[in-house]
Structure 1
C-alpha cells in the first residue's frame, strides 16, 4: 500500500503559503457568502411563493438534474482544458444567473417557473464548475498540502454558511429577496478577479484526440479497479441520495414545526454552518495525518443519526444544537471523502474522478430532494427527517460491514 500522507507537522494554514491558493481562497471567502445568501433566500422564496414542500423539492431536483446528466462529460472537459479559465467562465455565468433572478424579483415579475429555469441553468454551471474547481486545488498546492487546502476551503465554505443565511434572512425581512440575489451576483466578481492573478503549472490530458466516451470509460475503470476509491464513492452515493437533503428539510422544519420567520430560519442555517466551521478547523489542524476511514464513516453515520434525532419534537434551541452538531458531522464526512479521492487519483484522471464524486454527491440529489419532499408532504418535517436519516444510516452501515475486511487493514484510505 502506497503511503501518500503528508510528511509535514501540524500547521492549520499550510496551504496558504502558496500565493495562487491564497488569492483563490480570498476570492472564495466573499463569493461563498453570496452563494449561501442565495441558497437560503431562494428556498424561502419558493416556500412563500408556493407553500409546498414538494415544489421546493422540485426546485432542488431541477438544480441537480444537469449534474446527473453532465458530470461525466464535464470531468473529461476538466482534464482537457485550462481549469482556471473554465472555473472563471462558470463563475461569471453563475453571477449572471443571480442578477437575472434579482431583476425578476425586484420588478415583481418572478414566477415559480422562472425559479425552475434559473435553477437548471445554475445546475449546468455547477456540473462543470465543481469537478474543475476541486481538481484545480491540487495544481495550486500539490498533494502535500491538499487535505489542508480542502479543510481551509471547507472552513470558508462553512464560515459563509454562518454569515450568508443570516444576512439573507435579514435582507429578506428588511428589504425583500431581490437584494439577497443581487448581493450573490456581485460576490462572484471577487473570485473571478482573484483568478485573473492566479498562476499555476496546469495539468491537462495528453490524449485530447481520443473520443469522450473512451476517456469517460477510462475514469470509470480506474474507480472500479481501485478499492479505496470505489468504497469512498459508494458511500458518497448513499449519503448524497438520502442524507444531504438539508436545503429541503430545514426550511420546512423552521417554518412549519418551529414557527419561525425568515430570520429564525437563517439563524438555524448559520448555526449548522458554525458547527461545520468548527469541524473544518479541526480537520485543518490534523490534516497532516491524512484522510482516515474512521473519520469518513464516523462523520457519515453521525450525520444520519442526528437527522433521526431531529425527527423528534423539539423546541427552537434544542433543534439549533442538533443542527450545529449536524454541521460538524457533515464537514467531517465530506472533507475526508474529498481528500481521500484526490490523494488517490493520478493527475491525468483527477477531473474525471472528481466528476464522479460530483455525480454521486450532487447528481443524485434530484431523487433525494423528491424523496424528502414527498416524505414531508405526506408525513410532515418529522417524517422527512426520519425517512432520510433512516435510509442513509442503513446504507452507511451496510457499506461499513460489507467492507469490514478492508477496515481491518491500515486505516489510511489509499490505493
Structure 2
C-alpha cells in the first residue's frame, strides 16, 4: 500500500455549531454514525452467539476465557502498529480493509455453524483473526473521526459514538438471544447477519465525500516511529497523566461484569434474569452519560477528567455498600453515567491535545492503556470477589480509582504551580533588578 497525499479542502473543517447532535449535520458523519449503530449491534450479537457456541461445543469456562484472551490479547501487541498505519495511509481505505476482514471472519464462522462442520478450534482461530483485525481497526477508527467532523465537533462526535455503542449494547444481546431461541439454539444465523453489518459499514465509507474530509498530514516511512510516539506521550505530562488514569480506571474500575455476577449470586442470591437487569441498568446509565456529554464543546479541562474519575470511583464504592438488590441496581445507573462521562472526556482530551501527525499512534497507546489492564485487573478483582466478597472487590476498585484521581489531580496542580513559579518569578526579579539599576 502506498501513501497518497491529500490536500485539505477549504470545506473540510465544518463550521462550529451548537446542540447535542451537531456532528450529525455533517453528511459524512451521518453515514458513519448510522453504519456504526448497525455494526456495533451486530458485534454485540456476535459476542453473545460466540459465547453460547463455545458453551455448546465445550461446556467449559476455560474455553470461554481462551476465546476472550484470543480476541483481546492482540490489542496489547498490534494496536501501536495499527496506529502507525493510520498515521501513514488513507484511514478510510484502511477501515474498509479491516471491516472486510472482520466481516469475512464472521461469514466463515456462520457457514461452519449452519453446515454443522464447526469445531472448537475453528472458533479459536476466528476469534484470533477478529482480535488482530480489531487491534488494527480501533486506532484507525478513532483517529478517522476527527477527519470526518473536524476538531470543533470532535468532542461531540466522540460522545455520540459512545451513545451509539451503548445503545447497541442494549439492542444487540436481546436480538441475538431472540434469534438463537427462534432458530432452535442455532447460532449460525446470528454470525451471518453480523457479517452483513460489515457490508453496511464498507458501503458507508465508500459513499463518503472525500472532499469534505480533513485528512491529517500523512507521515512518511521512517525508523523509530513507534518509539517517537512513546517519547511524545512521555514529554507531554497532561497526556501521560490522562493515560495513567485511563489505565487505572480500565484495570480496577471497569470490571463490572465480574463483580455484578458475584453480587447477584453470592450476595443477593438471585439468578440470570437479575444479572441481566443489572447489566441493563449500567448500560442505561452509560447511555445517559454519553448523551449528557454531547453538549460539551472543545477540549475538556484536565480537572474534568479527574473529577469524573473521582465521582465514578465514589459511586463504585457506594454500590459495594448497598445492602439489597434494588438499591444496588439503582446506584448502577449513576455509576454507569459517571464511567461514560470519564471515558468520553478522556478520549476527547487526548485526541484534541495531540499533534495530528501523531494521532493514530497516540490513540493506539490510549487503547492499550484502557484495555491492556483488563488481563491484569480481572483476575485480581475476581480473586478478591471470591475470597473477600464481591462488596469488598467493588469498594477496593472504586477506592483505587478515587485515590488515583485525587493524587493525579494534586500532582497536576503542583506541576502547574511550578511552571507558573518558573515563568513569573525570574521575570519579576529581572524587572526589579532593571528598576534598581535605573534608579539614581
Q: Same fold (TM over 0.5)?
A: yes
Identify the match of residue 351 of structure 1 among 333, 356, 360. 360
Give the stretch that moved more between structures: 187-196 or 105-114: 105-114
Asked which structure has the greater RCO (Cα within 8 Å, sep 6+), the reply is: 1
Q: 1:20 to 1:301 in 2, by over 3 A?
A: same
CA distance in 1, matches of 2:389, 2:60: 13
Alpha-carbon deviation of 1:76?
0.8
Identify the match of residue 135 of structure 1 among 134, 143, 150. 143
CA deviation map 1:248-274 (0-9, x unaligned): 44455556655333x654443333222
Q: 1:192 to 1:321 in 2, by over 3 A?
A: farther
Secondary structure of residue in 2 paired with 1:403 = helix
Secondary structure of residue in 2 paired with 1:344 = coil
Q: 1:225 to 1:51 in 2, by over 3 A?
A: same
TM-score, length of structure 1 as denominator length = 0.84
* Preserved CA contact (<8 Å) 2:67 2:123: yes
Which residue is equivalent to 1:413? none
**Are residues 1:259 and 2:270 paired?**
yes
* Preserved CA contact (<8 Å) 2:86 2:360: yes
Give the stretch that moved more between structures: 223-232 or 88-97: 88-97
Which residue is equivalent to 1:79? 87
CA distance in 2, matches of 1:112, 1:372: 28
Alpha-carbon deviation of 1:311?
3.7
CA distance in 2, matches of 1:398, 1:246: 24
Which residue is equivalent to 1:385? 394
CA distance in 2, matches of 1:177, 1:316: 33
CA distance in 2, matches of 1:372, 1:61: 17
Alpha-carbon deviation of 1:84?
0.7
Larger Rg: 2
Flag structure 1 segments of 5+ consecutive residues without an equivalent.
1-5, 410-415
1:11-410 correspondence runs (5 A): 11-43=19-51, 50=59, 52=61, 56-103=64-111, 114-175=122-183, 176=185, 178=187, 179-200=189-210, 201=213, 203=215, 206-211=218-223, 214-251=224-261, 253=263, 259-261=270-272, 264-285=274-295, 287-288=296-297, 290-312=299-321, 315-379=324-388, 381-382=390-391, 384-405=393-414
Alpha-carbon deviation of 1:332?
0.2
Flag structure 2 segments of 5+ consecutive residues without an equivalent.
1-13, 419-440
TM-score, length of structure 2 as denominator length = 0.79
Report the RMSD for the aligned CA atoms in angstroms. 3.2
Count of aligned positions: 400
Alpha-carbon deviation of 1:380?
5.9
